[in-house]
């Protein structure tokens, strides 16, 4: 059996515009935006009376996407935007980039902050974690050698 393709990862955010701007700066392209609600959506998500704004952003190579979701109703519980990298749950997503220092420079005006340090890992990558909008941890990887 072939492994199914990973289509997208959904991330719930409070500020959809800020999250879109952050990921657009990384090079993702807005593929579409919509408002989603209705009985079928309620049954799928298990959120009664759910109404959300959704933006789908696709990677430039077309192989993956992020679904950014802002719930308009009902209000959900607050998360911990400062949760450390070892907290259970989906904790980070990785993007391979070119010129990691330039990417860091461009992300800082969008609220990105280094979680640790930019480090050369063996002879393969320069790596770092940055915390972006809503506390999302994004790992940046620049291939070396």
> What are all long-range contacts of 68-71, with beta carbons under 8 Å and residues at least 24 apart?
68/10, 68/11, 68/13, 68/16, 68/19, 68/20, 68/23, 69/10, 69/11, 69/12, 69/13, 70/12, 70/13, 70/14, 70/15, 70/16, 71/12, 71/47
Residues whose CB is less than 8 angstroms from the CB of residue 75 and which lie 6 or more positions away in sequence, other chains included: none
pLDDT per residue of the chain (145 residues) written in tens, 0 to 9 = 677 888 899 999 999 999 999 999 999 999 999 999 999 999 999 999 999 999 999 999 999 999 999 999 998 888 888 999 998 888 899 999 999 999 999 999 999 999 999 999 999 999 999 999 889 999 999 999 8
| Structural domains present in the chain | 8-73 (3.10.180.10), 92-143 (3.10.180.10)
φ/ψ bin of 66: left (φ > 0), alpha (ψ from -120 to 50), beta (otherwise): beta
Q: Which pair of structure tokens corresponds to residue 26?
A: 């990384």
């Amino acid at each position: 059996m072939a492994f199914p393709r990973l289509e997208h990862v959904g991330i719930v955010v409070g500020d959809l515009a800020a999250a879109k701007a952050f990921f657009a700066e990384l090079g993702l392209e807005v593929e579409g935006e919509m408002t989603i609600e209705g009985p079928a959506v309620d049954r799928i998500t298990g959120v009664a009376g759910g109404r959300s704004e959704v933006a789908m952003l696709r990677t430039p190579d077309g192989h993956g996407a992020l679904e950014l979701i802002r719930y308009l109703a009902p209000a959900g519980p607050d998360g911990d935007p400062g949760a450390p990298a070892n907290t259970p749950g989906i904790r980070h997503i990785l993007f391979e980039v070119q010129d990691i220092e330039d990417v860091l420079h461009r992300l800082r005006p969008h609220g990105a902050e280094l979680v640790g340090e930019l480090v050369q890992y063996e002879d393969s990558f320069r790596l770092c974690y940055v915390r972006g909008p809503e506390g999302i941890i994004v790992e940046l990887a620049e291939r070396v050698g």
